Amino acid sequence: ISHTWFLSIIQNEFRTGKIDLDSTMKLLETLQMSFDFAHVKHVFKKTVDKRKAHTINIEDFRAIYRAIVHRPEFNELFRAYSPNCKILADTELIEFLRKEQYETEACETTALEIILKYEPIEEVRKRRQMSFEGFIRYMSSEDCSIFKNDHRTVYQDMNHPLCDYFISSSHNTYLISDQLIGPSDLWGYTSALLKGCRCLEIDCWDGSNNEPVVYHGHTLTSKIPFRSVIQVIDKYAFVASDYPVVLSLENHCSPKQQEVMAEYLESILGDKLLTSTIGDTVVTKLPSPEALKFKILVKNKKVGTIEEGMLRRDLDSHGETGEISDLENVSDEDETDEKAPLYPMNASPKRKSEQRPSAPPRKKAKMKKIKIAIALSDLVIYTKSQKFVSFEHSLANQRCYENNSIGEVHARKFVKHSAKEFVSHTSRFITRIYPKGTRATSSNYNPQEFWNVGCQMVALNFQTPGVQMELQNGKFLDNGGCGYILKPEFLRNTNSTFTPHNVGRYSKPMSLSIRLISGHQLPPSNLSKTNKADPLVHIEIYGVPEDQAKKKSSVVKSNALSPRWDETFSFTVQVPELALIRFCVEDEISLVANEFLGQYTLPLLSLSKG
């Protein structure tokens, strides 16, 4: 049957006898399987080189199709459940789903749905059966992805207060390369929003003609108008997710241009901009992502309380400013002011050491007064930026709608020395972590260590690829990619005693067994003329310190098309709720070096069995 079906689809193409590589590729696409051009080209060349020709006949085409599509590992599985090795009846498919895919609920309806969706041969489909062709299409589909199907949509309770969620957050969103001389670009905002990012950073400075601009202050990065940034955000805010977007303003503008900012925010964003509390004016807890759907929130310093701002709502506050006193530690590290000028590099190291007093400097605290336009201040509702002093100070003084930003160096010290207080803090207040100012190349830190203590906004440079962004993208695949993930109960409970270094009674050990079967159409090595690679796979767990683990497979020599491992790896994970699993495929170039071919990261609890 499958032979007849196959011929009926392809024979028309071979009316004139033979076809070339382009036609081969087009014809393969009509068979509705995903083909990698480099691999097709390689198999095609191998076929024609024998005859010194550039075209293939119908039998060659069938051989190429089978070489790529009829994977032996699928065949073994199919034969195990098909008594005649040609057809699976619906009952046999049900048995396969229950035994291999752990779909205990699988029944006739499930089997029928799969057959109707994936069986390409009409007669087989009508008999409610599945051929090997249908089986391959099912096994290669999203339905058999390792990522749990029901985690592809929003499935978590979205009615908790905002501080109960991990929130996808970007740092210096306007930069698309480095932090010193690279371009600022609107694409930074578009691409972050399309990836489901829900907290964007906007660095605002006074521009000419009373037009505020966005760029990395004191550096040579290019400038973009604040107005354009808000227009792009207005356009793309809710394409990937319905849940609220927070604009984290790093505000260096004069009160006069702050008023211009407020005007743009209101006129461009219109109803999307949150300008008043929802429900009670007196705020005792933060609203939920559900309650704030399709809303854009401004995160900035604010004069006074929400309640005072609400009383002023209908008054014209044009030209009015308020003052905020900010405590500044003078001899703090490079991250007190993340935007410390990075440019004056002409001071020689020698002169620097002369200036340094021999006694360690005592921390002098000085008050810095900041002027804020009331018009902008009043747009800050549930996300008021508050200078972080200490966990004790926050516990005694901070309101639920006040949030802190802590630089990675300080945050890392807190994780190490006061993790319990840190967890207690993040169970109450939204906490944003940002990369230290010296990361001039826009490199990233590992976000996992800050998720482990419940930090909601762990801001990364989205423009910089690497393991850190792979963990970020993997974590936020969860919950439909909506940019909000409900934190585990032990990071939401204000009485929690959880710490990542000592999980104690919060441990829910899970044993994980992963069978690495095979690869298919891997990217060939850059160094290979013959489309070969020597692939190996690393399987890594990221989570609390005691769950961190790495294992690697053996190397399969010169096979990028269909490497086969059949190796099993076992892990025990103490805190699965925080764990991510990363599969990384590399090409062994030499005994000391590997080349990255590809990776996939996902939350451990989003792994599908089977």
Which residue among 39, 151, 160, 171 is the active-site one? 171
Residue 68 host element (H or E): helix 58-69
All residues at 6 or more sequence positions from 467 whose CB lies less than 8 Å from its CB, including other chains: 446, 582
The token duo for 177 is 């390369």
The token duo for 87 is 């057809």
The position carrying tokens 């336009």 is 373
Which residue among 216, 218, 410, 501 is the active-site one? 216
The token duo for 45 is 């060349």
216 is catalytic: yes
List, as one string, the DSSP characters of 418-476.
-HHHHHHHHTTS-EEEE--TT-TT-----THHHHTTT-SEE-B-TTS-SHHHHHHHHHT
Asked if residues 187 and 463 have their Cβ atoms less than 8 Å apart, the reply is: no
Alpha-carbon radius of gyration of the chain: 29
Strand runs labelled E in 155-212: 165-167, 199-205
Residue 603 host element (H or E): strand 594-603
Secondary structure letter of residue 361 according to DSSP:
P
CA distance 608 to 610: 7
Secondary structure letter of residue 519 according to DSSP:
-
CA distance 331 to 345: 19
Q: Is 514 helix (H, G, I), strand (E, B) or coil?
A: strand
Q: What share of the chain is helix, strand, coil (3-state, %, to 5)?
A: 35, 20, 45
Task: Give, in order, the Cα–Cα distances in Å from 79 to each of 6, 84, 98, 491.
Answer: 20, 8, 16, 48
318 is catalytic: no
The position carrying tokens 């695949």 is 477
Strand runs labelled E in 29-146: 87-89, 129-131
* Residues carrying an active site annotation: 171, 216
